[in-house]
Amino acid sequence: MTETVVVTGALGKSGSWIVESLREEYEIVALDQTLPESTAVEGVNFQNVDLTDQGAVWETILDADPTAVVHFGNIPHEEDHAGGNVFENNIVSTFHVLEAAGRAGADVVWASSETVYGTHWPDPELPEYFPIDEAHPVAPWNGYETSKIAGEAAAERVTNAFDVSVVSIRPTWIQYPGRYQITEIREAFDVDDADRNGNFWSYIDVRDVVSMVEAALAADIEGHEILNAFGPDNFLGIDTEDAIEAGYGELPEQCELTGEESAFSTAKAESMLTGSHSIPGKEQRTKRFRTPSSSEYCPTS
């Protein structure tokens, strides 16, 4: 019998890629605030659900009786939302989804954020050390980042209360095939006149995010684990230490970066997830992924 996975934020940029890949192996219950133009997608049952509505969330997830829940249904930034609204929406929806998953006995993989490290401060500061790992202190700046810290606390709570696991993924700036926003920044970068960059020119391809979600679903995880999700290198094409020194004028005393290596460590994810599923670097992004079509359910934005 095919297992069921609930995916929230199913029409979002990342969520649509996750649904498209997971439906090859699982029956998907896809939750979003709207329905797509066509719901006739094999292996996918679309549901219009407001994730801040506890009753609707509990009913939908418990009725689905899923093996796992993949939660990507949050407001992703404060660019056009009040910070308080973003915080309230994200933490209420995350709490309801995780609580329902726990009561259904479903493991969870959900999207926290790299911004918890303080990457979006107006005047970013150097971290205590490089590469930045999951043990580094967090330093949230706004309501969005604070909602992710609160979501990780909710994840810890759910694993304490129920016999399920939760993987909190902290992805960096996600890029999409055919619309890599990092290209313009790379082409304009001048090492002699560089500004500070809070995430140290990090990125991740959405296909790598999908692979990480799949690996986390397949892995034997106990309790709550937080995992960085970053590409293997910076997107500038120069040594990472040189870029950081150009922007910040110095490096922290503890700095162990080689060449174009990412300023953020993914060693924990590689250790925990490799073997259960591949965690690809950019040279492996050939693939089997078919870009979700807007005529089916993927938004065009």
Give me the CATH number covering residue 55: 3.40.50.720
Note the pLDDT of residue 78.
84
- Predicted pLDDT of residue 100: 98
**Please, where are the H alpha helices in the chain?**
13-22, 54-64, 83-104, 143-161, 182-188, 206-218, 240-248, 267-273
Say if residues 108 and 158 touch (Cβ distance below 8 Å).
yes
Alpha helices in 65-128 (DSSP H): 83-104
Is residue 54 situated within a structural domain? yes
DSSP 3-state of 29 = strand
**In a 10 Å sphere around its CB, with 0-12 CB exposed, 13-18 middle and 19+ buried, how is residue 239 labelled?**
middle
Give the residue numbers spanning the domain of 168: 4-176+203-230+264-284
Domain count of the chain?
1
Series of mean pLDDT values for 10-residue runs along the chain (301 residues): 94 97 97 94 97 98 98 90 93 98 98 97 96 98 97 98 97 96 95 95 98 98 98 97 97 98 98 68 38 39 26
Tell which residue, 261, 120, 133, has the closest CA to residue 197: 120
The two tokens of residue 217 are: 């679903």
Residue 237 in domain: no
| Residue 198 within a domain | no
CB 216 within 8 A of CB 90: no
Residue 72 phi, psi dihedral angles, 5° rounding? -120, 15
pLDDT at 293: 43
> What is the predicted pLDDT for the residue at 123?
94
**Is residue 255 domain-resident?**
no
pLDDT at 275: 65
297 falls within a domain: no
Q: Is residue 236 part of a domain?
A: no
Residue corresponding to tokens 């500061």: 125
**259 occurs within a structural domain:** no
